[in-house]
Amino acid sequence: MTYQELVNLCLEFDGTYEDHPFGDDNSVIRHKEGKRKMFALVMDWSGVPCINLKLPPMEGEFLREQFKSITPAYHMNKVHWSTVRTDGDVSLELLKSLIKKSYDLTKPKMKKLSR
């Protein structure tokens, strides 16, 4: 999978956009609404496209034990974020589900209606 294909997978979700706060070498994929939280950081790690994703802590830990290509996130909170390398043992189906999980975990909360 290429870097751009990874970015495109993330941009398939509603209300997202690509940002470059760390320079053009990394793509931060954010929600357009709310606080514009990021849900993915796409980067090139020694020639391999990788993605940082937010996961529930227990699930992230479990996945890191099961897959060599899922590690604690590079330059991020290692409890809540994991790095997924695209040259390893993670299937495209699993990668898509992890991107969706990160998207869902970071999307803006619905405001309560005032009475």
Q: Give residue 75's region: left, alpha or beta (phi > 0; psi -120 to 50).
A: left
pTM (predicted TM-score): 0.91
Which residue did the predictor score with more confidence, 111 or 103?
103
- Percent above pLDDT 70 for the chain: 96
Q: What are the pLDDT digits (tens) for 51-89?
A: 999 999 999 999 999 999 999 998 889 999 999 999 999
Residue 19 has pLDDT above 60, yes or no: yes
Is residue 114's pLDDT more than 60? no
Contacts of 70 (CB under 8 A, 6+ apart): 60, 63, 64, 82, 83, 84, 85, 88, 90
Q: Considering only the top CATH level, what class is 3-106?
A: alpha beta
CA distance 77 to 108: 20
